[in-house]
Structure 1
Amino acid sequence: MLKSTLLDTLNRLGPARFVLDSRAVRSGDAFVCKQGLNQDSHQFAEAAVDAGACVVIATRPLALSVPCLVTGSFAASISLINHYLQFPAEGLTQIGVTGTNGKTTVAYGLHQLLNQEDHSSYSGTLGRLAGNHLVPQLNTTADAVTLLNQFHELRQQGYRHHVMEVSSHALAQDRVDAMLFDVAVFTNISEDHLDFHGHRDAYQQAKLRLIDRLKPGGTAVINLDDDSAAVIADRCRQRADIIGYSCTDSSATLYADIHHCGAQGSEFVLHYQQNRYPCRLALPFQYNVENALAMIGAALAAGHPLSTVIHQLVQLRTAPGRGQRMVWADGSQAIVDYAHNQPSLSLLLNQARQQCQGAIHTVVGVTGDRIEDAAQIGTTALTLSDHCYFTCDNPLGRPIEQILKRMDPDRAARQIPCRHGAIAAALAAMKPGDLLLLCGKGDEQYQYLSADRAHPAPYDGDWQILTQLRPASR
């Protein structure tokens, strides 16, 4: 139970923010200490005080010139902050989106849908978006302290919805344990981040923890076309309502009968509660029809009328770096996409192959923490593309030549370490009607060269390089 004296002290001091990083402390902040696996931030408490912290929240006593509130555990510190801020997450409809692929597209698109009728905010891989102001953030899902600060600000500013990407790392590390969700969206669960989770089962179990964070009476929106759908639905039993969506199962709550699908967008008929609704979507390929169904399901669960959602669907903008398309007068085109693992690359290439009449040119790399997947990703690209260019994508301390050799051991001519040079080579080889796929980086404008991710090297960005080398036809 929280000691009232700790809460009284916080109320008396009235800290402006709660901060985990001593380097980010400003005058009037509270510095929150945490004993981590590799670092104990208690050792930076004095530096935080020197930077202006008016109070320190710690898990053990510290001799400081400002009050030090000792909670005994980091979880207790989070609980104290939550009480002080009067449980800020509860002032918002909280929608969590998780999955191996599609999180960003679904969360960003859902934010657009909700924001047209209500005051919505977004946080995820792209950063934190409230109004028209996008602020970068370090992780897809912020730490618990940062989240509480953000929810407090959003509630004060009158926001009603918060749509957030929830990563497997965040769920495994208890970053969202101070909040409950109204809606949980599952796009798919395949295999990723095994360097962190160790094996697929641990990765899947981390994703499923999002169901445990649902409010009583909450709703899970599940992709029935995904192999993990039955496992997710089983975890929901007696915990949550389910909205299932599908492009193949006509018995799903939301079923899309696709009439046309391509790089330019899709047209489909939505079947819901024995009614049919014509829908248009400007996002490319079938997997974005699935993503659109996830958005529709979440919007319905949040109480928005279906007619309004469908009307807004055609106005959806592509998330930066997710299926961004450029077209040229000779019929050739390019798509910048975040496809960075074997399942997402295979899906993108297979659907592109069905639509492209010309040759497919693929620029792709492998991050240093996924080097064990390099051969599989290289084989997928070589099998499904006509021309491949293997290049740099966040080597994280691994020699880039070693990564490229694993992707393509036979043809050094396809290995172009400089990503800018790889894009230029692909553009030079294209003929009218060809398709260029720039995969893996999305909208990222940096390269993580070292293993500790410190001091990332600036990178112009795939879309920016594309625009510089060959601007779109007007």
Structure 2
Amino acid sequence: MILKELYDFLDSNKEVRGVTTDSRFIKEGYIFLPKHGKNFLGNEFFVEAITKGAIAIVYDEYIPNLVVPLIVVDDLDKELKRLLNLIYRKPFENLKLIGVTGTDGKTSVSTISTYLLNHISKAANIGTNGIFYNNQIYDNLFTTPILCENYRLFTEFNKNNIKYASMEVSSEGIANHRIDNILFDYAIFTNLSHEHLNTHKTMHNYFLTKLKLFKQLKKDGLMIINKDDYYARFFEDFDNVVYYSLFSPSDFQAINIKYYNGYTTFDLKAKDYILKDLKVNRSEEYNIYNIIPPIIIALKEGIDIKLLYELLVDLPIIPGRMEKVPVKYPFDVYIDFAHTPNSLKNVLIEIRKKAQNDVILVFGAAGGKDKSKRPLMGEIALKYADFVIFTSEDPRLEKPTDIINQMLSTTNSNQNNYKVIIDRTEAMIYAFKVAKKNDIILVTGKGRENYFEENNVRINYSDFDHLLDIRI
């Protein structure tokens, strides 16, 4: 498509290769349509966009002296929708698209879904750990990419004959219109607990935001809902829904669950049949929840049952999710992305089952996020770990000491099983120094994230790499 086909008043035969609202994603031949944000107008990024190769800019105000055409429109959102449909068409129509939402478990559910579906046809995955397709992993700036990136990615998937795409759909992504007008074949609800109240203010609003995903299903789309979660009751009026569970009777219930060291066996009871003696290489209750929705989708898509049994025994390790760090010390070290009260509690309960001795927790809370969860997380940490080292975790524009003081605000004055070390690397080194034989050190909050953010500056950083480098 050339530029004058989009704007007939422009006499330009330049090829249009894409459109984006974020200058960080500009490539040669793109149209730049910046939207207004909380802290910027959008026109601050004109020069960057042009330098990177933008061939035109669409904006809602005239700005003089630009070296590329400026198209002024009244409604940026409406124009963006028009451009996306003309440039990319509707690429999601040619995909079996799976959207996974919920407070916890999105990455695991999405990753396992992609793994199983890849054994039926080519599959891709979009989420916190990156963008995966054709056996390659690409960086992802947001859990749920911006709308323009989603259209571009889906188009790329179409070109590569990819049939399935799983994506994590965050509440912030929904609230910021990153999935607008995209239709899904499957929408999965994992759970809902305390998180993002800085954005949504109340749990009710948080749920209503999540619910929007389930109103964006294709005509024959299916909802897959965790019936053990309190919010499952709000899906009862929908027709196209199946429920899964561990404890409540449901369409797909895991029964006869037996946990072992390194694996779990269970039967999956459906309405008309039972898959007996399924064995998965996970030993945590929350991971059984995470495994059932991918199984349901794989069954719906016609996976060979014998193959399914074989795949479940060898599920891939998900980076940053209860991931063991291969250190050569007489204690074990794990990292986990847990950054909500619910996920922190769950991972501590499960790590306790692995521990022969004490559990030492190194953790913090991110700046610029939900402040109301911080005291809850502090209480959970001190209750379920033997010793806690409070430290920094992406403080952004907040003071790390203020964040930690909020986490300790409800602590009993007699509590003495913790220490505060602001520097995250120093906190991990201290954990190594005090750890005894058969202890477990658990570092939470960042998983496999590759950055640390403070004072509006992102630096390259990895918990995993730093832990590997520690020498005592």
- Give yes or no for TM over 0.5: yes
Q: Check conservation: 1:97, 1:187, Cα contact below 8 A.
A: yes
Superposition TM-score, scaled by structure 1 size: 0.88
2-side partners of 1:374 and 1:57: how far apart? 41
The equivalent residue for 1:316 is 315
What's the counterpart of residue 146 of structure 2? 143
Matches within 5 A, 1:1-12: 6=6
- Determine if contact 1:392/1:418 at 8 Å carries over to the other structure: yes
Secondary structure of the residue aligned to 2:236 is helix
Q: Secondary structure at the match of 2:279?
A: strand
Please list, as runs of the form range in 1=range in 2, the aligned pairs for 1:61-76 lying within 5 A after superposition.
66-70=68-72, 72-76=74-78
Q: Distance in 2 between matches of 1:269 and 1:196?
A: 40
CA distance in 1, matches of 2:76, 2:169: 21
Asked whether 1:35 is paired with 2:33, we answer no
Find the counterpart in structure 1 of residue 274 from structure 2.
275
Q: Does the CA contact (< 8 Å) of 2:147 and 2:178 recur in 1?
A: yes
State the Cα deviation string for residues 141-186 of structure 1 (Å, max 9, x = none): 1111111111111111211111100000111122111310000011
May I ask how many residue pairs the two structures share in their alignment? 459
1:261 counterpart = 2:263 = no
Q: Which residue of 1 aligns with 2:366?
A: 367
Quick one: which amino acid aligns to residue 268 of structure 2? L
**Letter of the structure 2 residue corresponding to residue 224 of structure 1:** K
Q: Which residue of the partner structure matches residue 220 of structure 2?
A: 217
Distance 1:8 1:118, change over 3 A: farther
**CA-to-partner distance for each residue in 1:399-450, whole Å, 9 max, x for gaps?**
2222223333655961111222222222333333332222111111222112
Match of 1:469 in 2: 470
Aligned partner of 1:430 among 418, 428, 435 = 435
Label 1:86 to 1:398 Cα distance change in 2 as closer, same or farther (>3 A): closer
SS of the aligned residue for 1:228 comes to helix
By how many angstroms is 1:51 displaced? 4.2
Alpha-carbon deviation of 1:330? 8.5
Which string of whole-angstrom CA distances, capped at 9 and with x for unpartnered residues, describes residues 197-247 of structure 1? 12211111101111011111211111111111111x236x14xx2221111
Structure 2 residue ranges without an equivalent (≥5): none
Is the contact between residue 382 and residue 417 of structure 2 (CA under 8 Å) also seen in structure 1?
Answer: no
Other-structure match for 1:350: 349
> 2:385 corresponds to which residue?
385
Q: Is the 8 A contact 2:393 2:445 kept in 1?
A: yes
Unaligned runs of 5+ in 1: none
Percent of residue pairs bearing the same amino acid type: 29
Instruction: Write the distance in 2 (CA, Å) between the matches of 1:377 and 1:244.
Output: 30
In structure 2, C-alpha distance between the alignment counterparts of 1:326 and 1:39, rounded to whole Å:
41
Cα gap change, 1:469 to 1:36, in 2 (>3 Å):
closer
Change (3 A) 1:278 1:43: same
* Secondary structure of residue in 2 paired with 1:317: coil
| Structure-1 separation of matches of 2:454 and 2:48 | 29
For 1:425 and 1:258, locate their aligned partners in 2 and report how far apart those are by CA, in whole Å.
Answer: 42
- Does structure 2 retain, via aligned residues, the 8 Å contact 1:95–1:162? yes
Distance 1:67 1:81, change over 3 A: farther
Contact 2:362/2:443, CA 8 A, preserved across alignment: yes
* Match of residue 421, structure 1, among 422, 426, 431: 426
Cα distance, 1:306 vs structure 2: 4.4
- Whether the aligned pair in 1 keeps the contact of 2:113 and 2:294 (CA below 8 Å) is yes
Structure 1 residues 434, 258: closer, same or farther in 2, change over 3 A?
farther
Could you tell me which residue of structure 2 aligns to residue 442 of structure 1?
Answer: 447
Cα distance in 2 between the residues matched to 1:404 and 1:296? 40
Greater displacement, 401-410 / 115-124 = 401-410
Tell me, yes or no, if the aligned pair for 1:144 and 1:178 is still in contact at 8 Å.
no
Single out whichever of 327-336 and 182-191 deviates more from structure 2: 327-336
**Deviation, structure 1 residue 287:** 0.5
Letter in structure 1 aligned against 2:284: F
Match of 1:96, SS? strand
Question: Contact (CA 8 Å) 1:82, 1:178: kept in 2 or not?
Answer: no
Q: Deviations over 1:262-286 (max 9, x none)?
A: 5623222222332232222223411
Q: For residues 282 and 455 of structure 1, what CA distance do their matches in structure 2 show? A: 39
Aligned-pair distance for 1:191? 2.0
| Contact 1:326 1:334 survives alignment (8 Å) | yes
Q: Secondary structure at the match of 1:381?
A: helix
Q: 1:222 to 1:310 in 2, by over 3 A?
A: farther
Take 1:382 and 1:83, find their aligned partners in 2: how far apart are those partners? Answer: 55
Q: Distance in 1 between matches of 2:111 and 2:117?
A: 10
Shift of 1:302: 4.1
- Note the aligned Cα RMSD (angstroms): 2.8
Contact 2:323–2:335 (Cα < 8 Å) also in 1: yes
Distance 1:337 1:51, change over 3 A: closer
Amino acid at match of 1:112: Y
After superposition, the Cα gap between the structure-2 partners of 1:179 and 1:12, relative to the gap in structure 1 and judged at 3 Å, is farther
Worse overlay, 391-400 or 276-285: 276-285
Distance in 1 of aligned mates of 2:52 and 2:32: 10
